[in-house]
Copies of this chain bind each other. A is one copy, B any other.
Amino acid sequence: MLRLTRQADYAIVLMTHFAGAPEKKVQNARDLAKCAGLPLPTVSKTLKALGRAGLLVSYRGVKGGYSLPRPAEEITVAEIIEATEGPIALTECLDTATDECGIEFCCPVRTNWQRINQAVRDALRNIPLSDMATTVTFPPLEKVQ
């Protein structure tokens, strides 16, 4: 269906939340979950993935949480998607891991597939996170809980 996974969806929502808040603001998983109306374990899992990918920096301990490591203008939607669901490759052919498409000898379309993938990747790379935060005003935490 050419669908993003839910995790990627959540990731963009959460990242947008960071982009909307003051820079370097540390927010913890619990508050983010409440504000987004999502279950804490799910949010936590997503944030961890973003942390591993370097799209968020994490702070442990009581006053811990996450914050953006760089300005929202320098983070792209493509990065967020790749952080949660791996490299953007529309077909198995292009996943370098599995180059056994079975119909290879009769599948010279393969080289042309690169074109499709590149087009989609470029499209997503050209959308900065800051764009996703425009005209978006999240309600303050107090009003949510």
Contact = CB atoms under 8 A, between A and B. Distances in A.
Categorize the interface residue count of chain A: 35 or more
Contacts of A12: 109
Interface string A80-115: 010001101111110000000011011111011001
Given A126-B119, A131-B115, A136-B108, A103 B36 contact: yes
Copies of this protein chain in the complex: 2
A35 interface: yes
Interface of A: 1-5, 8-9, 12-13, 16, 35-38, 77, 81, 85-86, 88-93, 102-103, 105-109, 111-112, 115-116, 119-120, 122-124, 126-127, 131-139, 144
